[in-house]
Amino acid sequence: MAMAKLRKKLFSGTKDTGDESKEIEKRMKLEKERQKKTIRILLLGPGDSGKTTILKQMRKIHDGTIPSDTVDSFATYIRQNMVKYMKILCVKSIELQIPLDIDDNQDNQNEEDQIDLEQSREALATISIPTSLSPEILKHIKLLWANNGIQETLAQRKKFQIPDNVAYFFNERLDDIVCDGYVPTFEDYLRIRMRTTGLNQEEFITSFDGSGTSFVRNGQRHTKIKSLSNTQTNVSSTALS
């Protein structure tokens, strides 16, 4: 892309001074040198095999920041997923006929938070998705998450599909996530699961020699990758669980 812009300016028919032509030639030479040092890696694999996670890990190693244009959208997405995760647990606890132990929650209840567990489970099991994380829904989530029945449902996660990040977000991050000024940490960004399709590209400047590495993730099995014919390495990922 950068080379094309330079050529367009060089051969546009406009009269350039000698200094301008030399500057363009210099920039084209530098761009060629940069491209020579760039290693293009194509990540391939089925859904949920960790391709996006690899990209995030590379960003953590070489950059360490969340893309600025995605911070707000990630905050909203994470909040919505807290509701989605609890909905899944409630639905599956009913399907697996796992009872909710009310006695285990007596110490957690007070005059301000007297919510019937079965009503809370029914409310979350039938809630529409996506839904924002409101104070009312937060009450239901906290009460249910503290219950042994919901914990037992999560322990049987091999029987249904739910991300492995549930305990992290509910145990360590829930109170921060509900705050108005919540900004996702890099750990939140790394752990949240977001389904992606098509081609996604990340570019990093490696710390050891200043050269560039371009990771291209193919998230669609039948996507044509003619434009990626100049990749030096293909990496296939697969889920172990």
Higher-confidence position of 66 and 142: 142
pLDDT for 197: 66
pLDDT for 224: 46
Cα–Cα distance, 158 to 232 (Å, whole number): 37
Q: Where are the beta strands (DSSP E) in the chain?
A: 39-44, 199-205, 212-218, 233-236
Tell me the pLDDT tens digit for each residue of 118-138. Answer: 999 999 999 999 998 999 999
26 residue type, one letter: K
Q: Can you give the three-state secondary structure of 67-97, one letter per residue?
A: CHHHHHHHHHHHHHHHHHHHHHHHHHHHHCC
Cα–Cα distance, 88 to 124 (Å, whole number): 9
Tell me the pLDDT tens digit for each residue of 174-204. Answer: 999 999 889 999 899 888 887 766 676 777 6
User: Model-level pTM?
Assistant: 0.67
Higher-confidence position of 101 and 176: 176
Name the average pLDDT for the chain: 77
Q: Cis peptide before 130, with omega less than 30 degrees from 0?
A: yes
In percent, how much of the chain has pLDDT > 70? Answer: 69
